[in-house]
Amino acid sequence: MRKVSVYDTTLRDGEQTPGISFPLNYKIQIAKQLDKLGVDYIEAGFPAATKGEFEAVKEIVKLGLNSKISALARLVKEDIDVAMKTDVDMIHIFVPTSKIQVEHTIKKDREEIIQEAVRYVEYIKDHGFECMFSAMDATRTEVDYLKRIYKAVEEAGVDIINVPDTVGVATPFSMYELIKELKEHLKVPVDVHCHNDFGLATANTYAAVKAGADEVQVTVNGIGERAGNACLAEVVMALHALEGIKTNIRTEYLVETSRLVERLSGIKLPPNTPIVGENAFAHESGIHAHGVLKHAATFEPGVITPEMVGHKRRIVIGKHAGRHQIKKILEDAGYAVDEETLTKITEKIKEIGDKGKKVTDLDVITIAEVIMGELSKEERVINIDEATILTGNKITPTAVINAIIDGKKKVTSAIGVGPVDAALKAVAELVGEDVKITEFKMDAISGGSDAIAEVYVTVEDKEGRSFTAKGASTDIVMASIEAVISAVNYLLRMRRKNA
């Protein structure tokens, strides 16, 4: 079975995303996660760029990870010497080769560039390091010249050559032809590095592998210069699921890795991001949801499941919802409804959705109870008696909550990074460690300093059952508490009804 290597450059090219600068502790967290994910190479940085960059690469090397560590260097002896001092496994050297970049950046004779490339490959190999060579802007470089410089470094002992689509102008067709031609000309392994200026980075990387590329350069969430790089999750899953081409990636950690980089980079992923996005396995349309509830492959690719990438399938309620998904939510909560009642509930949900409102699981059950005349019979397992929140410049945010659970008084307290975090942790303590908050979102639904905040939370128990609810208040903290308590109450009631 064919296998390709994965070279991750999140810590180098990914950090070149405008607005991103990872401090050392973030870089270490990301490096450890990439190692857990199973990438073959981690490009830890550009040591000659700054003193901090040099120290960060050295510290990552000291972690003793299973992934090999690579450092970037220009075709400059001082850069290469600095990179060597970090004790990385591989030194990745690059030089511009396209006419436009040679004329306007390094302004060297193109024969001289080949000679220098050979000299520094030999220099790196003589010092016992692996060497990767990149002809920068390869996809705008004449193919004959590319072949010459790549053949020259191959004969000098380079371990792998990289073909960068530096400004993202390749197409899957042109990339396929280029890699195919280079593979016929070279014996050394070929790697590709694709940028996403036209949204083709993943497609170009995929095409390169189809043409024979041995390694792919990617970043987590596709972050990187300008429009970013080829996305690790997309490339890996396209190869695994569509082509049966394997990598060493432990795909069950893809979502976990994506969310870590999302949090540390501050770049929020659109919910419709393939593979790892919030909506990647979410279904609202009644037709789709009905099919998925019967057999997941009806409206999902089939060759990939949410569990494969560390995700979960979600059936979302909205104006496109169908009777089957609404009935499923009610049955899970212990309610049996006849067809006439189900029709009324469905119509009411669609009416709310038409007004632009988000419909939560709790809304479905509340609507059902009102229509069935059972709202007055609601028994809350948990009732908040009093909540006190302490916060300030020199005060660790602390929440103290007095509650009544099944008729018994209970007091809990917790600290957090902010008042909302502290409050949510205190609420979670009320019901024990088997219930956790998996999602938290907030929207202001009116303007001004007294804006009403609408908070949505999803709570999950140890059996994997989850429930979404919302709270609304001019006090963000109380809206959060209200939402969590509502979700936990219904989750507990669901558990007891089905016991």
State residue 498's pLDDT score: 64
Mean pLDDT of 342-356: 76
Three-state SS for 417? coil
Range in 203-212, 333-342, 347-356 the model is least confident about? 347-356
For 183, 197, 440, the CA distances from 5, given in Å and listed in that order, are 16, 24, 36
pLDDT on residue 424: 82
pLDDT-derived band at 65 (thresholds 50, 70, 90) equals very high
Q: How many CB atoms lie within 10 A of CB 301?
A: 11
Counting beta carbons within 10 angstroms of the beta carbon of residue 80, is it exposed (0 to 12), middle (13 to 18) or buried (19 or more)? buried
Cα–chain-centroid distance for residue 239?
Answer: 18
- Residues 197-210 have a mean pLDDT of 98
Q: Averaged over 130-152, what is the pLDDT?
A: 97
H-helix or E-strand spanning residue 479: helix 476-497
DSSP state at residue 168:
S
Distance of alpha carbon 252 from its chain centroid, rounded? 12
pLDDT of residue 290: 46
- Poorest-pLDDT segment among 163-167, 288-292, 342-346, 419-423: 288-292
Contact 218, 232 (CB under 8 A): yes
- Backbone φ, ψ for residue 453 (5° rounding): -95, 135
Cα end-to-end span (Å), the chain:
48
| DSSP bridge partners of 378 | none
The residue that leads in pLDDT, 24 or 372, is 24
Q: How confident is the model at residue 406 (pLDDT cuts 50, 70, 90)?
A: confident
Sorting pLDDT into bands at 50, 70 and 90, what band is 348? confident
Which residues of 153-303 form beta strands (DSSP E)? 160-165, 190-194, 215-218, 282-283
Mean pLDDT of the 94-101 span = 95
Residue 288, pLDDT > 60, answer no
What average pLDDT score do residues 31-51 get?
97
Cα 47 from Cα 252, distance rounded (Å): 32
CA atoms within 13 Å, Cβ hemisphere of 7: 29
**Mean pLDDT, range 176-188, rounded to an integer:** 98
Q: In the 8-state DSSP scheme, what is residue 451? A: P
Complete domains list, the chain, with CATH? 5-265 (3.20.20.70), 282-375 (no CATH), 382-497 (3.30.160.270)
Cβ(289)–Cβ(322) below 8 Å: yes
In this model, does residue 287 exceed pLDDT 80? Answer: no
Q: Token pair for residue 51?
A: 């003193």
Amino acid at 317: I
Q: Which one is predicted more confidently, 417 or 38?
A: 38
Task: Give mean pLDDT, residues 22-42.
Answer: 97
Please check whether residue 362 is in contact with residue 468, taking contact to mean a CB–CB distance below 8 angstroms: yes
Grade residue 345 by pLDDT with cuts at 50, 70 and 90.
Answer: confident
Mean pLDDT of the chain: 86
Judge contact between 380 and 394, C-beta under 8 A. no
Reported pTM = 0.74
Q: What percent of the chain has pLDDT over 90?
A: 53
- Tell me the three state secondary structure of residue 212: coil
Q: Is 319 exposed, middle or buried (0-12, 13-18, 19+ CB in 10 A)?
A: middle
Mean pLDDT of 211-238: 97
- What per-residue confidence (pLDDT) applies to 220? 98
Q: Show the tokens assigned to 385.
A: 């008696």
Strands 453-461 and 466-473: antiparallel
Per residue in 107-123, pLDDT (tens digit) is 789 999 999 999 999 99
Across 229-249, average pLDDT: 97
Q: Give yes or no for residue 186 having a pLDDT over 60.
A: yes
Phi-psi region of 38 (alpha: psi -120 to 50; beta: other; left: phi over 0): left
**pLDDT at position 302:** 64
What's the average model confidence in pLDDT over 445-467? Answer: 70
pLDDT score at 70? 98
Residue 448 is predicted with a pLDDT of 58
pLDDT at 234: 98
For the cut 50, the answer to whether the pLDDT of residue 299 exceeds it is: no
- Contact between 362 and 375 (Cβ < 8 Å): no
Residue 43 in tokens = 């490009």
**pLDDT band, residue 476 (cuts 50/70/90):** confident
Q: How far apart are CA 29 and CA 26, in angstroms?
A: 5
Contact of 491 with 465, CB cutoff 8 Å: yes
Percent of the chain past pLDDT 70, that is, above it, reads 86
Per-residue pLDDT at 403: 87
